[in-house]
Chain A
Amino acid sequence: MNWIFENLGPIGDATLTHLELSVPPIILSFVLSVPIGWLANRFRASRAILLTIAGLLYAVPSLPLLILIPSIIGTGLRDSINVIIALTLYGMALMVRSTADALDAVDVDVKQSATAVGFSAWDRFWQVEFPLAGPILLAGLRVVVVSTVSLVTIGGVLGIGGLGLLFTDAFQRQIYSEIIAGIVIVVAIALVLDFLLVLLGRALMPWSRADRALSARARRRVVVAS
């Protein structure tokens, strides 16, 4: 335990670096997945191709990816941009599927009604389909948040900053409390970001809660009636 109190400064710095490396990929993968997810949902052929690529990309372990990316884009092996790119790709591998599923789940009748009352394709997407896809998008993004925060630590074995450095340092110097501190902080960051995302979802999509209460009530009514 002493180690933790003596090193609060470096731990704080590592935590901040960790956040700096995990937040951009989360946002980037969400933003980039919207057009790709839309494309995946739009045509049958594009769906098969894009989702297969996403699945295979997701199967690639992160350490090899962190090693191969610099040789493709010409950055240094210990450049933190590699982590951001690799985790953005992972995030997209998850989010493209979520986005395609979320858009697919929007009721056809609702889409047709929107067209019937005069929405253009662009407006219909942003004002009708995208908001209605929100709850499933949120569920996908929550997975991305937790996995991204945890994966940033892999950069530690390459000497890239963040809480992963606590693990490599602790392993070389045999300090148990340093590893445990690292694990606890990583899990805590993941849970806090996840919680913030849920709050954001409630603020942006107040209907999804009302919806659930309503459908639960409706279900009860059906059970009682039958």
Chain B
Amino acid sequence: MNPIAQTFGYILSPANWSSTASNPIGARLGEHLWYTLIALVITAVIAIPIGFAIGHTGRGRQVAVLVSGGARALPTLGVLTLFALLLGVGLEAPILSFVILAIPSVLAGAYSGFEAIDRRTIDAARAVGMTEWQIVTQVEIPLGLPLLIGGLRAAALQIVATATLAAYVGSGGLGTFIFLGLGANDFVQTAVGAVLVVALAILLEIVFSILQRLVVPAGVRAGRTSFGLVRAPRSRSAAGSPLQEGNN
């Protein structure tokens, strides 16, 4: 049997998923998803309010652009090993590095979502007497949501990729198969880890891209799919990725 077939055979065999297996796939997958979720939630809690504040006031934008741009050049492996040495074994080091590496995407998603809104829309909201809080919650957040989700999507993929490296510093996840396999010169085991990570990343990408389409406000969507003659000033919702990420 060739190695590729063996790899898929290993993944599809129920014995390797059961809790009695030496390295159950389900448990490793669970760890991987769990790290991704925790890191994504922490990142969101930190970055979204700051991004909204920058987007709404327009202040601090330069700093945010600089931080996002600079963070893109940071080598993930370097950040991860540095924190692992500083904080020792445990969950703190990987989670902290995931959060640091994911903040720029979410921050950029939050403020660029606000920035992409036609100024006239916001002026109109102010003119009809909305308070600043109402403008943020009822106009800017709904209209900026697709780009924010785009930022979260980039962040999630970044975290899934970095979480693969977490096994290198001894923190489990799907990378465990990769590094155990590398250590034992067992290609099939390494490939099992690789195939599972790729499948997880592609699945997340698809889920987020569907989510990104679903959150486009009904009014904006109606403007886009109308007969094409009458168009709102901001006819299209800004979707897609807020900044081109480059670190997975």
Chain A interface (Cβ < 8 Å from any Cβ of B):
55-56, 58-65, 67-68, 71, 77, 94, 140, 143-144, 146-151, 153-154, 156-158, 163-164, 166-168, 170-171, 174, 176, 179-180, 182-183, 186-187, 190-191
Contact = CB atoms under 8 A, between A and B. Distances in A.
Given A60-B202, A64-B178, A187-B70, A153 B78 contact: yes
B78 A190 contact: no
A63 B246 contact: no
A184 B49 CA distance: 30
A186 B191 contact: no
Given A63-B178, A71-B191, A167 B246 contact: no
A63 B85 contact: no
B164 A183 contact: no
B151 interface: no
Nearest to B194: A64
Contact of B187 (A63, A71, A171, A190): A71
Contacts of B79: 183
Nearest to B196: A64
A183 B74 contact: yes
Contacts of B70: 187
A198 to B, nearest CB: 13
A67 B167 CA distance: 15
Interface string B32-51: 00000000000000000000
B204 interface: yes
A158 B181 CA distance: 11
Contacts of A149: 73
Interface centre among B76, B84, B191, B204 (most CB of A within 10 A): B76
Interface in B203-248: 204-205, 209, 244-248
B77 A157 contact: yes
B195 A68 contact: yes
A163 B84 CA distance: 18
Given A61-B161, A67-B191, A147-B72, A153 B248 contact: no
Contact of A167 (B75, B160, B179): B75
A147 B191 contact: no
B246 A146 contact: yes
B178 A140 contact: no
Contacts of A154: 76-77, 165
A63 B197 contact: yes
A144 B74 CA distance: 14
A46 to B, nearest CB: 19
A150 B73 contact: yes
Contacts of B195: 64, 68
